[in-house]
Amino acid sequence: MSDTPVGARPRGASLRAIFASASGVLGALGRNRVGWAAPLVAVLLVVAILVAVLALVPAIAPFVYPLL
Amino acid sequence: MLLRRAMIRLGVPLLWRRIAQVQAARLLRFGITEKDSEWQILHALDDVDDPATRARVLQHALEESHHAAEFTRVSLNVAERLPPKPLPPRAPIYETGSGVEGLAGFAAYANVGEVDVFEQFDAYAAGIGPGEARSVFRESKLDELGHVGLTRAILDELVPDKRRADWLVTKVRLRRAWDVWLRFGKTLGEINTTLVLTALYLLAGLLFGWPAWRRLVGEKR
Amino acid sequence: MDILGLSSGELGSGASLVRDGALHACAREERFTRQRLDPNPPRFAAEHCLRQAGHPAAGLSGIAVAGDPADRFTRVLTGTLGQGFPLMVPAFVRSMSAWIGHHLWERDSLSRLLDVDPAAIQYRARHRCLSAAAVQGSGVDEAAILVVDTIGEWTTTTIARWKEGGAPEDVERFEYPHSLGLLSAAVAMLLGLRPWEGLAPLWDLAAWGRPTLTSRFRRVLQVHEDGTYQITPGFLRFAELFEPPYGDPWTGAFTDLFGAPRDARRPWPFRAGEAPAVVDTEDQRHADIAASLQVVIEEAMLGLARRAKAKTGAAHLCVAGALAGNASAILRLRREAGFASVHVPADPTGLSAGAALLLAAERGAPLSGRAPQPFGGRAWPAGRDLAAVARMDPMWWQRFRRRGTAPVRDARIEVTPELDDDTLLAQVVADLAAGRIVGWLEGAFESGPGGLAHRVLLADPRDLAVARRLTERVTGAAAFAPTTLLTRPEAVAALVDEPAPTAGWVPLAAHASAAARAAALTAVHADGTLRYLPVDAAVAPRMAALLDRWSASTGAPGLLLADLREAEDPLAASPADALLIFMRTEVDTLVLDQGLVRKELP
């Protein structure tokens, strides 16, 4: 029985978490027999990352607000 | 505020009276906003032990609860189809454990919010035609006027220095101005998002609609 | 070893804490946020669980989240592209906006919410979680499990087997779009109800209809002799239900069979406990749709249960998922599926509890069928609200009361802050016998979807007028829905005409005896079944004592039970929530732990 504490959120956790989520989606394509969707998923992930970057600019942030 | 009032007065006669589904959705959103006010009050009340204050604030929560129920009730009476019921995440204005300072900030926020809501209800009551909805707007706006006084009285009790209390109210007004900018951005952002995703869907549907359909019907069970 | 389980989604989000393999705390987010079936990340429920744990999230041994977002995303993408192109533009835009903006990055947002290392968050398939939750409270050490749900990631129905000590093992899975839960949600919408909240009313409505449209439903839902089933393509577009605001999940072929959607404003003519007067053709046709769906759903669930029996050879069956709340279908499984017992857990959609139990089992804390924690929610002190209400004047409540309720401006409010149980129970029994409606709040709130004994409304079951008052002027529940009879296990045998369970965590159904018909009018449904909930003195000792006193004093076999809530709100959580209900509605007496508040009208 493992009793090791999960630990607090480290610095730079967001980038690692986002990368883990994105690679998780790519892995799920094969597992769920929808490999044909890989190009579409790649486009959506690029859009998502673009949105995330735009959201960092205060003047633009409100315009990507619906996605945040 | 004047701009919003003008928009309501111009927009309501055009849309409100013609499209029942728009009316229903708008009324339900008012119900949800009033429910959020009730929730914010009860959430802050969790940190208040004084029975007299609790009694005053419970009465305030009762009034917001009633407004929420009334807006919800009339929203269900105007259109054949149920209006969409958004359930936004709760964002507490008062964070539990933030003490008197937190409660003072909450009272200032509530005070400004009540003024805004009064203005909106007043504009709607004047802009929409006769009917149940107008009665609800009219009755609710009077209560909101009472809440303006109540929240200011609580703020003054928590912050006896009048200049500091006024500064708290001003800070909230500035924050709400930023919220207006966000809402404006949201409207434009929604249009952009819809256009981009619609184009993507049409392209992706042509390319991948068939394999997607095969994947779904291929599942015999 | 403390493990936190989290869940979110259309059937409501929640959090649970499992300590050394047993449920220690469990709460739905809706209780804190006051939004029924709140689907948002369970911030407040998680805070409650961590408060119960006594340490921050970083000190947990594990965090399990029900539902892998990556798998769900592939289903949403396939569902929106593969059904009804190009008509699904709005569904695709809604879904992708939500996925790109939020859902895909759930690991990061949960890590921020809890302030934990994102790598520590582990995802488990929703149906595996529901399987683990299903066995809680079953009291058996080996069972077949049937999860019949709306939608997991891709899985909609699961057959599993379980042996005490281990985690459940999947035997067979049915995938999207073949979902009995989504079919029910679509029919609920067609009948003017909301898709998820409308499931329970839909099943209650079924008893008022005749199954005249079953052959049409069999074209939509094919149930095979081997116990498998299939949704026929071309009738439904479930992808419309992936993200709110929901679009119509049906095609023209479906409305050709069942007609246009019902006007949601139209009142239903059926009332529990009363024979319907004149019923309009359209109302009857809509009730017939519900009744016909119920027949085919029962056939499908019975087929699945028999298949589970054949595949596992188990003597007992545990059922979970959204359709486990369909009491008539569960009754049919109990009667016909061939199992020695059929168990439904206290929270059939308890994903967060299941996720935490599953991770605990994987880490060596054996999963057992021991009694669950039915009251895993938060408790508040009642004293400060009792002191507050003593200072309030009902004259000021009058304008803010629920529409149609009796005036209270001249009412006298009696507040007794502390009573011993003997005096309190005697007063409550006297009030109930006088036709008063009693609200009862005690300790921590229920973990599951409804009130069992800590957040309930009680009334005399023999009095039809008080039952109507309860529905119309307090809960706002559908008038056609039966109430539940809260009773003691030893009273059950006399109330039903067939072998029926004397223990349960959710309202049960069994054919009502003549005695039940005479004693509990509105708890006997239009289909002749009694809806009842036996109260175990070991689980809810005060409620059991109240029932014993009530029966000894009046000879009635139990009390009418309803959730302590008003209209579209979730179950009351805090004493302040209960007081608002007391002020707004015709609740006449309110018990707040050891305190008592009474309304005396002139």
Say whether both C398 and C547 belong to one domain. Answer: yes
Would you say B69 and C567 are in contact if contact means Cβ atoms under 8 Å apart?
A: yes
CB-based contact, A15 to chain C, within 8 Å: no
CA-based nearest distance A8→chain C, Å: 4
- Quick check: A62 and B208 CB within 8 A? no
Measured CA to CA, the distance from residue C50 to residue C166 in angstroms comes to 26
Are C355 and C429 part of one and the same domain? no
Assigned domain for A36 exists: yes
Closest CA–CA distance from residue B172 to any residue of chain A (Å):
19
Of the candidates B190, B207, B215, the beta carbon closest to that of A66 is on B190
B200 near A CB under 8 A? yes
Instruction: Confirm or reject contact between B153 and chain A (CB < 8 A).
Output: no
Contact C61 A47 (CB under 8 A): no
Chain B residues near residue C40 by CB distance under 8 angstroms:
87-90
Pairing relationship of beta strands C229-231 and C121-124 according to DSSP bridges: unpaired
Kindly determine whether residue A61 and residue B196, on different chains, have CB atoms separated by under 8 Å: no
CA dist., res. C206 & res. C292, Å (int)? 8
Whether residue C339 is contained in a domain is answered as: yes
- Interchain proximity C104–A40, CB inside 8 Å: no
Question: Does A9 lie at the interface with C, CB-CB under 8 angstroms?
Answer: yes
> Is C324 in the same domain as C357?
no
For chain C, give the longest Cα–Cα distance: 68
Is B197–C574 a contact, with Cβ atoms under 8 angstroms apart? no
DSSP of C329-398, one letter per residue?
HHHHHHHHS--SEEE--S-TT-HHHHHHHHHHHHTT---------TT-S----SHHHHHHHTT--GGGTG
- Number of neighbours of residue C503 by Cβ within 10 angstroms: 17
Question: CB neighbours of C37 closer than 8 A, spacing ≥ 6?
Answer: B87, C10, C11, C12, C30, C196, C197, C570
ipTM above threshold 0.90: yes
Please check whether residue C579 lies inside any domain of the structure: yes
Q: Domain for residue B179, yes or no? A: no
Which ranges of chain C have pLDDT less than 70? none
At residue C454, the 3 state secondary structure works out as: coil
- Chain B's closest residue to A51, CA to CA, is B193
Residue of B nearest to A66 (CA): B186
Domain CATH number, residue C214: 3.30.420.40
Residue C165 covered by a domain:
no
Which residues are C414's β-sheet partners?
Answer: C598
What residue of B is the nearest CA neighbor of C13? B89
**Is A34 close to B212, i.e. CB distance below 8 A?**
yes
Query: Do A67 and C100 make contact, defined as CB atoms within 8 angstroms?
Result: yes
Asked if residue C125 and residue C215 are part of one domain, the reply reads: no
- CB-based contact (8 Å) between B198 and chain C? yes
Q: What is the pLDDT of residues C380-401, one digit of tens each?
A: 999 999 999 999 999 999 999 9
Contacts of C242 by beta carbon, 8 Å cutoff, 6+ apart: C76, C79, C80, C91, C94, C95
Per CB-CB distance under 8 Å, the chain C contacts of A1 are 1, 363-365
Helix H or strand E segment including C169: strand C169-175
Is the CB of A40 less than 8 angstroms away from the CB of B190? no
Residue that is last in its domain, among C343, C373, C407: C343
- Asked if the C-beta of A63 comes within 8 angstroms of chain B's C-beta atoms, the answer is yes
Residue B190: what pLDDT?
79
Q: Do C43 and B76 touch (CB under 8 A)?
A: no
Q: What is the rounded average pLDDT of the residues B33-50?
A: 95
Task: Give yes or no for B73 touching C (CB within 8 A).
Answer: yes
In a domain, C455, yes or no: yes
Residue B61's pLDDT band (boundaries 50, 70, 90)? Answer: very high
Q: Counting every residue, how long is chain A?
A: 68
- Over residues B173-218, the pLDDT tens digits come to 999 888 888 777 777 777 888 898 999 999 999 999 999 999 998 7
Q: How many domains does chain C have?
A: 3
Q: Residue B92 has which token pair?
A: 């507490």
- In terms of C-beta density within 10 A (0-12 exposed, 13-18 middle, 19 or more buried), how is residue B77 classed? middle
CA distance A40 to chain B (A): 7
Task: Give the model confidence (pLDDT) of A1-52 as tens digits.
Answer: 567 899 999 998 988 998 899 999 999 999 999 999 999 999 998 888 777 6
Task: Return d(Cα C258, Cα B141) in angstroms, integer.
Answer: 44
Domain's final residue, options C289, C313, C343: C343
Tokens of C510: 């069994």
Do B65 and C59 contact (CB within 8 A), yes or no? no
* Residue C294, SS3 per DSSP: helix
For residue B78, the chain C residue with the least C-alpha distance is C265
C391 and C521: one domain? yes
B46 lies in a domain?
yes
The alpha carbon of C471 is separated from its chain's Cα centroid by a whole number of angstroms, namely 18
Q: Same domain for C430 and C499?
A: yes
Residue C146 lies in a domain: no
User: Using the 8-state DSSP alphabet, how is residue C417 labeled?
Assistant: S
Nearest-Cα distance to chain C for B193, in Å, is 7
- The Cα angle at residue A58 between residues A54 and A64, in degrees rounded to 5: 45
How far apart are alpha carbons B117 and B145 in whole angstroms? 9
Domain boundary among C332, C362, C392: C362
Distance from CA of C305 to the nearest CA of B (A): 16
C84 Ramachandran zone, left/alpha/beta (phi>0; psi -120 to 50)? left
SS (H, E, C) C16-38: EEEECCEEEEEEEHHHHHCCCCC
Which residues between 163 and 182 in chain B have a beta carbon less than 8 angstroms from any beta carbon of chain A? Answer: 181-182
Asked if C174 contacts C454 with a C-beta cutoff of 8 angstroms, the reply is no
Q: List pLDDT tens digits, range C249-304.
A: 999 999 999 999 999 999 999 998 888 778 999 999 999 999 999 999 999 999 99
pLDDT at B221: 44
**According to the model, what pLDDT value does residue C519 have?**
84
Concatenate the DSSP letters of all residues of C212-245 into one string: TTHHHHHHHEEEPTTS-EEEPTTSB-GGGGSSSS
CA distance C527 to C291: 11
Contacts of C579 in chain B (CB under 8 A): 58
How many residues belong to chain C?
A: 602
Cα dist from B119 to B128, B144, B210, C53, whole Å: 14, 9, 53, 46
Residues in C touching A13 (Cβ below 8 Å) = 108, 111, 117-118
Q: Among all residues of chain C, which has the CA nearest to that of B204?
A: C81
Beta-carbon contacts below 8 Å between A and C = 111
The structural domain count of chain A equals: 1
Pairing verdict, β C121-124 and C62-66: parallel
Write the residue in A4, A18, A47 that is nearest to C100 by C-beta: A47
Structure confidence at residue C580 (pLDDT): 98
Listed by number, the residues of chain A in 22-61 with a beta carbon closer than 8 Å to a beta carbon of chain B are 33-34, 36-37, 39-40, 43-44, 47, 61
Verify that C222 and C80 share a domain, yes or no.
Answer: no
For residue B168, what pLDDT is reported? Answer: 95
Residue C277 belongs to what domain range? Answer: 180-343
- The confidence score (pLDDT) of residue B181 equals 80
Which domain, by its residues, includes A17?
Answer: 13-67
Three-class secondary structure of residue C577 per DSSP: helix
Residue A23 within any structural domain of the chain: yes
Q: Please say if the pLDDT value at position B70 is more than 50.
A: yes
> Residue C313 region, left (φ>0) first, then alpha (ψ -120 to 50), else beta?
left
Report the C-alpha gap between C33 and C304 in whole angstroms: 37
Determine whether the interchain pair C384/B49 forms a contact, defined as Cβ–Cβ distance below 8 Å.
yes
Q: Tell me if A9 and C118 make a contact (CB, 8 A cut-off).
A: yes
DSSP string, chain B: -HHHHHHHHHHIIIIITT-HHHHHHHHHHHHHHHHHHHHHHHHHHTT---HHHHHHHHHHHHHHHHHHHHHHHHHTTS-SSPPP---PPP--SSPTT-HHHHHHHHHHHHHHHHHHHHHHHHHHHHHS-SSHHHHHHHHHHHHHHHHHHHHHHHHHHH---HHHHHHHHHHHHHHHHHHHHHHHHHHHHHHHHHHHHHHHHHHHHHHHHHHHHHHHHT---
Closest chain B CA to residue C223: B221
Strand duo C316-320 + C341-343: pairing: parallel
Is B208 in the A-facing interface, judged by CB distances under 8 Å?
yes
- Does residue B185 belong to any structural domain of this protein? no
- Which residue has better confidence, B2 or C170? C170
* Measured distance CA(B158)–CA(B164) in Å, rounded: 11
Give the integer Cα–Cα distance in Å for C130 and C149: 9
Percent pLDDT > 90 in chain C is 93
Q: Which of B59, B69, B205 sits opposite C86 (nearest CB)?
A: B205
Write the residue in C80, C193, C402 that is nearest to B69 by C-beta.
C402
Residue A1 lies in a domain: no
Is A44 in Cβ contact with C96 (below 8 Å)? yes
Inter-chain touch A63–B192, beta carbons under 8 Å: yes
Integer Cα distance of A25 and C223 in angstroms? 34
- Which pLDDT does position A68 carry in this prediction? 47
Q: Is A15 on the interface with B (CB under 8 A)?
A: no
The three-state secondary structure class of C203 is helix
Residue range C522-567, pLDDT digits in tens: 889 999 999 999 999 999 999 999 999 999 999 999 999 999 999 8
Q: Is B196 on the interface with C (CB under 8 A)?
A: no
The C-alpha of C73 sits at a distance from chain A's nearest C-alpha, in angstroms, of 7
For chain B, the domain total comes to 1
Look at residue C484 and give its three-state secondary structure: strand
Kindly give, in sequence order, each residue whose CB lies less than 8 Å from that of residue C443, ignoring residues fewer than 6 positions away: C375, C379, C454, C593
Q: What is the CATH number of the domain that holds B25?
A: 1.20.1260.10
Whether residue C378 is contained in a domain is answered as: no
**For residue C473, what are its two tokens?**
């002027």
Chain B residue numbers with beta carbons less than 8 Å from the beta carbon of A63 are 185, 188-189, 192
Q: Is residue A8 part of a domain?
A: no
DSSP code string of C70-92: HHHHHHHHHHHHHSSTTTTHHHH
Q: Give the one of A37, A47, A65 whose C-beta lies nearest to B185's C-beta.
A: A65
For C75, name the nearest residue in chain A, comparing CA atoms only: A32
Least CB–CB distance from A9: residue in C1, C61, C117: C117
Residue-wise pLDDT for B108-136, tens only, equals 999 999 999 999 999 998 888 888 999 99
Q: Is C267 exposed, middle or buried (0-12, 13-18, 19+ CB in 10 A)?
A: exposed
Question: C473 and C580: one domain?
Answer: yes
